[in-house]
Structure 1
Amino acid sequence: MLDKILRFIITVLTVIAGLMTAKWISTSSFFASMVSNESLRIGFIDSGDTIATILIFIVGGISGGAVGFFLSPFFIKHLMKFTYWVESRLNKMPIYDVLAGSIGLAIGLIISNLIGSTFMHVPIIGNYIPGVSSIILGYLGMNIAINKREELFLMLVSLPWRGKEKEKDKSKDKIIEVEQYKILDTSVIIDGRIADICASGFVEGPLVVPVFVLEELQHIADSSDLLKRNRGRRGLDILNRMQKELALSVQINTSDFDDIAEVDSKLVKLAQVMKGKLVTNDYNLNKVAELQGVKVLNINELSNAVKPVVLPGEEMIVHVVKDGKELGQGIGYLDDGTMIVVDSGKKHIGDTIGVLVTSVLQTAAGRMIFAKPKAMEKGA
């Protein structure tokens, strides 16, 4: 049914084109010089037209209609292919890209219309400038709007649409702060502790996984190195668990900054655009993000903050597992992974002994406890 309608429309258009061509021929000076008999006239034909003019109109209309009727299947076929191509491209694009492209195209065409109208009176090229400028500015507006879609929508959201929005109370500000986006980097996903932290309820709001982080995880999971492959697969399993088992709000962000090569730089840029917080356990990324004004949630810092406080003079039981760097030292670990350096503990390797804490050293990498064996005490 649609093919028949389109074929009818194309045929009508070609008939009109044929009549317009016949009109142009009938008013040409060449045709006027050949026709001298002006005695016969018909109502809808201009008063100066003759029988020859009428015949030209009939021939033009029939010729145009015939061309349109027989060539319309060819045009319809290619029109359908073009329509399906456009539809498939639009279906693959996120809705933000479609909306941003439409807004950019509209703005580009408006600017083109304003510019083109000033050149209308220029001889020869004046009639062509509006069409050319519409194509160029429409494409530029659409392309720029898609590339800057995040900034565009954030700008629209932040506009004071109502006067009441300017008088937000402190409680609402706190809610907004809680619901800030938490952007996960590759290291914190592979680490896995973020899943347990979110499950405990200490981290709220939507979690965002950028598409370039997913690509890096997939690249690591496909590595030929066994250790890297296991780490990458662990990260993918953690994400799957967070989405399905823990039912957390995990969003995949498709924004990719093609002009930036490094994944860490892309993460910082995305956090700036979304005004979110970056969740990581990468010390260097933490410092770079803070220098650029991005708030960071460091899992290692959280882990150190919740470890039990140990003061010099306290007693504890330690299992010495290996020797230390310095002569005679032994090394043990608490349940939370904190390393304990035991003076003169090398001779107690493999034993569980009571120790007395002498000092505690806090570093960026974690916490170290220095201790010495309790005199005349040894555990089994």
Structure 2
Amino acid sequence: MLKRGIEFILTMAFTALSYFLFDFFYKSNLSRIGDVIPPYAPAAAGIVLGIIFFFVVAHIISDEIIKRMENIETRLVKMSLKDLMASIFGIILGLAIANLIGMAISGYGVIGTSITVLLNIIFGFLGLRVARRKKDEIGGIGSLMDGVKENVRLKGGSVSGRPKILDTSVIIDGRILDILKTGFIEGKIIIPNFVLEELRHIADSADSLKRNRGRRGLDILNEIQKQTAVNVEIVDFSTKEQLEVDSKLLKMAEKIDAFVVTNDFNLNKVAEFQGVRVLNINELSNAIKPVVLPGEDMQVTVIKAGKEYGQGIAYLNDGTMIVVEGGNKFIGEQINVIVTSVLQTAAGRMIFTKKKD
């Protein structure tokens, strides 16, 4: 439909231009051409050339125009909202300056009009370039205004921030609910429709383990929606191509300039490669674990025997494993130990201790 519309407009413009050219030569009566050609000849020639243009050339030009429009659309979609707003502001400012100057020379006929059009092109382009280079300063003005609004915000009002899109895995995990209750995460919480559909599909699975995980995720989601301090919104998002849930998640985050909240290691790596910001719950959990130094005293309860001979295993409240040298003799007992070393692994942190004399 768009292609046909462009072809029609191009054909009408070409037909009108052809008619005006033929009519100009006809009325100028070069070599007394008007004596042998009837008055309707310019219009007939314009229509004939327009028909030829429509069937031979118009579709080629329209395809190129549509291709250019798609390229521009792709570039605009990839731009952040900050860049887009800065570009629009720069273009509007440049056009305003150009037209103010053009008002002074608008009375000079065709020459004045041509200069005004040229000024619009030049100042529009300059405004775009300057605004793109000064976008951080423009954003700084916006941040200052946000700060002023924050000072007069009513008690209990919402706090602004970049949107956070929740992944399926982080909803099932459940720790995001406790984090939201603490108020450390600001901004709108977005639940994509395809994530909700995946949760429903897991909850209907024939596998009992998957079914329980899906139902837990739906329960967590209901609890998140009940949090009055957090703005939760379910958003419909779809793409032309058939993509997996993780790919849709990253594409949505890139389009609306949002963070992805997850605990999926693979999704985290792919997001880093595509330049999408990720908030990983596991990384947060490791970051807030208490720091333990060699030589410190601890009181632990030995739970079971370790893999190596004589070792006992205990755990902190956050799940950190403690290996007690010679602790297999004190299983079920609470003992005082001294930290000998701390080992950080990909799976987490391990603390090695020995019984205090």
TM-score of the superposition, structure 1-length normalised?
Answer: 0.59
- Whether 1:221 aligns to 2:116 is no
**Distance apart, 1:245 and its partner CA:** 3.7
- Whether 1:242 aligns to 2:224 is yes
> In 2 relative to 1, CA 369–152 (structure 1 residues): closer, same or farther, beyond 3 Å?
closer
**Distance apart, 1:251 and its partner CA:** 2.0
Secondary structure in structure 1 of the residue aligned to 2:337: strand
1:112 maps to which residue?
A: 7
1:151 maps to which residue?
A: 77
**Which letter does structure 2 place at the counterpart of 1:264?**
D
More helix by share: 2
**Distance apart, 1:205 and its partner CA:** 0.7
* d(CA) in 2 for partners of 1:126, 1:170: 56
- Whether 1:309 aligns to 2:279 is no
> What are the Cα deviations for residues 139-179 of structure 1, in whole angstroms up to 9, with x where unaligned?
x99xx89x97x929968656423559954253734869962
**Which letter does structure 1 place at the counterpart of 2:88?**
P
> In 2 relative to 1, CA 258–339 (structure 1 residues): closer, same or farther, beyond 3 Å?
farther
**Distance apart, 1:289 and its partner CA:** 0.9
Task: Using the aligned pairs only, state the percent identity.
Answer: 54
**Distance apart, 1:123 and its partner CA:** 8.6
Residues 199 and 246, structure 1, Cα contact 8 Å, conserved in 2:
no
> What are the Cα deviations for residues 205-255 of structure 1, in whole angstroms up to 9, with x where unaligned?
111222221111111111112221111111111121111244521222222
* d(CA) in 2 for partners of 1:237, 1:157: 39
Residues 207 and 249, structure 1, Cα contact 8 Å, conserved in 2:
yes
> In 2 relative to 1, CA 123–277 (structure 1 residues): closer, same or farther, beyond 3 Å?
same
- Whether 1:168 aligns to 2:96 is no
- Of 190, 194, 198, the residue aligned with 2:176 is 194
Larger mean Cα displacement after TM superposition, 196-205 or 246-255:
246-255
Residues 11 and 50, structure 2, Cα contact 8 Å, conserved in 1:
no
- Of 279, 286, 300, the residue aligned with 2:268 is 286
Secondary structure in structure 1 of the residue aligned to 2:339: strand
**Which letter does structure 2 place at the counterpart of 1:341?**
V
TM-score of the superposition, structure 2-length normalised?
Answer: 0.63
Secondary structure in structure 1 of the residue aligned to 2:299: strand
2:98 maps to which residue?
A: none
- Figure out how many residues of one structure are paired with residues of the other and give that number: 262
Residues 344 and 350, structure 2, Cα contact 8 Å, conserved in 1:
yes
Secondary structure in structure 1 of the residue aligned to 2:313: strand
Q: CA RMSD in A?
A: 3.7
> In 2 relative to 1, CA 152–296 (structure 1 residues): closer, same or farther, beyond 3 Å?
closer
* d(CA) in 2 for partners of 1:271, 1:307: 29
Which structure's CA Rg is the greater one?
A: 1
Residues 321 and 350, structure 1, Cα contact 8 Å, conserved in 2:
yes
- Of 308, 328, 334, the residue aligned with 1:326 is 308
